[in-house]
Structure 1
Amino acid sequence: MISELKKFEFFKCKDLLYEQGQLEAKAVIEGVNPGRVFVDDINHPISGLIWLGNNDGFIFIGDEKNEGFNNELNNFIDNIIIPEAIKVGLTWFEGIGNHRKWNTTIEEVLKSRKLGSWNQRVYTLQKDDYKCNSELAIDQGYKVVKICETLFENNDFSIKNIEFLHSQILEFWSSFETFFCVGIGYCMIYKDEIVSICFSGFVVGNIHAVSIETIEGHRGKKLAQKIAKSFVTDCLNNNIVPYWDCMESNKPSIAVAENIGFKNVFNYIGYDFSF
């Protein structure tokens, strides 16, 4: 039977994580970022499923050949996951394996569900690779500002769309306080509005996953690259390793990462099906 662990029990899954796997899985299990964890045995888990707190998918962890867990998965997805996912507005199941061996299992177990797939690329940036010399010119009127509590609270109402910043942070973090304790971020402001944001989405130790978003209407102006450089400079000055995870088909995102100096460290496959 697949059961849900309470947050204080997540530590039981530490040994199930693949060392070279996704940062997001480690961040949830370590209790840094929000998420839910479902396992085959609440006392001695062998296999599990992590539901990321930002609703950005599910990560299969542990033993991919665990027949007891695998045989229950479809029933569990239909009766527990899908009804709860629909409540929060999801229309797709997106799942990935914490290591490559899960790919065959996912394809076999979910083969009756019109399964689609995509490729994902993971990059990291080391100090020696950072291309920091070239100053990037952007249109007049845009300015980069570090995200601080004063900006966040917006007591003087100087930012017209402060809810954009709030919603982005709370998508990844359980509270603003938690973000400010462990994360960093920058935003691009234009005419009293935040039009682009780059911040720590997931954090494990000194590794910070980059989350970046630019409002439609301001894309294609190299704002993402400009703001990412501010974020990266801050990271490297504080011995933080920036971590960039994006779809292989997202050419603009890959271009931003590679133009700054990020190096591709591993790739993985994602799977999805519609509810």
Structure 2
Amino acid sequence: MIVELKKEEFWKCRELVNEHVQIEAIAVIESINPGRIFVDDQKHPLTGLIWLGNNDGFIFFGDEQNEKFNREINGFIDSVIVPEARKVQLEWFEGVGNHERWNEVIKHVFDHRQLGSWVQRVYTLKRSDYYLHSEPVINVDYDVIKIEKSLFKDDLIKNIDFLKGKLLEFWTSIEDFLDTGIGYCIIHQNEVVSICFSGFVVGNVHCINIETLKPHQGKKLAQLVAHHFVNECLKNNAVPYWDCMEMNKPSVAVAENLGFEKVFEYVGYEFLLE
């Protein structure tokens, strides 16, 4: 029977995770970032499923040949995940394997569902590869600001709740982010219009989350705010980690323009939660 672990039990899964793929899994297991973990056995887990706290997907980990887990997972998704997903308006199950051997298992276990797939790219950046000269020059009406405690006390910022909301998708509290993460935003006419911050952190590796509001896209704001984020990382001997869909050409372009190099790819799978 698949069961949910309590947060203080997450450590039982640490040795089951492939450290050389998604850092998000480790971040949840080490309770750096929020998430839920479901396993085949509460005392001695062999296989499990991580539900990322930002509702941005699920990660299968451990023994992919665990027949008991694979036999039960569809029923568990229908009876437990679907009702919980409805509470947060989540309509799609987007899952990845923590190692590539999961790919065939996922396709087989969910072959009765309308299963789609995509390719995800992961980039990292070394100091020696950083294209400092690619930092764009933009309109003087845009100001780059570090995300720190004083920013949240600025009553002139019209949409500070937008920034708070984005951070809280990944972090338990704003304080947790400020203690562990790095972030920059761009302000235009007292409005946050572009952000780049640590979504997940494991050790000195900072997984980037970046977003620009639609009316301000196409102005190289993402590239500019990412430069400031990368500079801060390198100054603190942190490793910037960029994870995006292969089909997301604007995100790929920003990463490669800064000098990020692709280190691996993995496949994601999706189906409608009904």
TM-score by length of 1: 0.98
Displacement of 1:134: 3.9
Alpha-carbon distance in 1 for matches of 2:267, 2:152: 36
Counterpart of 2:221 in structure 1 is 223
For the pair 1:78 / 2:93, whether they are aligned, the reply is no
Which digits, 9 at most, give the CA deviation of each residue in 1:231-250, with x for residues without a partner?
Answer: 00000010000000000000
Give the letter aligned to residue 173 of structure 1. W
Taking every aligned residue pair, what percent have the same amino acid on both sides? 62
Q: Return structure 1 stretches of 4+ with deviation > 2 angstroms.
A: none
Task: Say whether 1:168 aligns with 2:166.
Answer: yes
Q: What residue in structure 2 maps to residue 237 of structure 1?
A: 235
Whether the aligned pair in 2 keeps the contact of 1:152 and 1:165 (CA below 8 Å) is no
Q: In structure 1, the residue corresponding to 2:251 is in which secondary structure?
A: helix
Cα deviations by residue, 1:158-200 (Å, 9 ceiling, x for unpaired) = 1011111110100000001110110010000000100000000
Aligned partner of 1:110 in structure 2 is: 110
Distance (Å, rounded) in 2 between the aligned partners of 1:213 and 1:198 = 7
Q: Which moved more, 1:182-191 or 1:127-136?
A: 127-136
Output the CA distance in 2 between the equivalents of 1:122 and 1:216: 24
Cα deviation, 1:93-134, whole Å, max 9, x if unaligned, reads 000000000000000001111000001000000111101134
- Which residue in the other structure is 1:181 paired with? 179
CA shift for structure 1 position 137: 1.1
Instruction: Confirm or deny: 8 A CA contact 2:94 2:270 kept in the other structure.
Output: yes
Q: 2:188 aligns with which of 173, 187, 190?
A: 190
Is the Cα contact below 8 Å between 1:61 and 1:97 reproduced in 2?
A: yes
Root-mean-square deviation over aligned CA pairs: 0.7
For residues 128-143 of structure 1, what are the structure 2 equivalents within 5 Å?
128-143=128-143
Distance 1:134 1:244, change over 3 A: closer
Which residue does 1:158 correspond to in 2? 156
Q: What is the one-letter code of the residue matched to 2:91?
A: T
SS state at 1:159 partner: coil
For structure 1, which segment, 159-168 or 127-136, has the greater mean C-alpha deviation from structure 2 after superposition? 127-136
The within-5 A match list for 1:7-156 is 7-154=7-154
Give 1:245's aligned amino acid: D
Judge conservation of contact 1:124–1:242 (CA < 8 Å) in 2: yes
C-alpha distance in 1 between matches for 2:175 and 2:159: 20
